[in-house]
Amino acid sequence: MDRTLQQLGTSFLRRVATDTLLTISEGFIKVRCAQAALDLGWELQEGAGNAPSGPVADFARASAGQIQWTRGPRRAQLPQGSADLCVVSPFTLFLEIKARPDFGTKSQAQFQEMDADVSRCAQHTNVALFFIFDSKIYLSFSGEKTETRGRPAVAAEWFNRYFPKLTQIPVGLWLSLEAVRDGEALSLHFQKTEHSPSHILVLGGRRDTVLQPHAA
């Protein structure tokens, strides 16, 4: 899965080069991520409720510069809950998308939500992390934050252990590191954007994952 995530991340970063307010809205990030996936020729699934025959979904593909939608029986679903974005072709992949900006309503680290996504990723071989940070708040996750005001952060330990220092993350290249969560080996991939203010994209998934074609 490592190469697949890096392909998606590279396609995404090309899309967001001028989006300086990117981290303010996770919904906007989902749109850019979906566009990046469609650029790669992947097919996406969006849940569309239930029919008498069972759950249905809308499926999106890019064709001749346009997005083509079809509706049919839902083809992929997690045992519990749902993910932010679901790829159903040429393989099945669920993405957990989170953002942390330097300003606005999500400008506190709020490790717990992201920590839950990491735990979920460790449980499933077809679930991947898609995290993006502004540069200042990233320091809370890499353990470099020097401010000590407020209560001690909850669920920060895993991130502080495995996220590299901001200066170690390259621009235009992927830094790949290994991590462990709940007894499972994860691969993490980091890249920093070149524009100012910079964003840090973090992708991750289980190291033993081999993405399988989905049988329609």
65-105 pLDDT per residue, tens: 899 999 999 999 888 888 999 999 999 999 999 999 998 87
- Asked if 60 and 68 touch (Cβ cutoff 8 Å), the reply is yes
Q: Which whole-number Å values give the CA distances from 192 to 106, 137, 174, in the listed order?
A: 20, 14, 9
Confidence of residue 40 (pLDDT cuts 50, 70, 90): very high
- Asked if 44 and 85 touch (Cβ cutoff 8 Å), the reply is yes
Q: What is the pLDDT of residue 145?
A: 80
- Ordered by start, the domain boundaries in the chain are 2-206
- Asked if 140 and 109 touch (Cβ cutoff 8 Å), the reply is yes
To the question of pTM greater than 0.85 for the whole model, the response is yes
Other CB atoms closer than 10 Å to residue 111's CB: what's the count? Answer: 20
In angstroms and rounded to an integer, the radius of gyration of the C-alpha atoms of the chain is 17
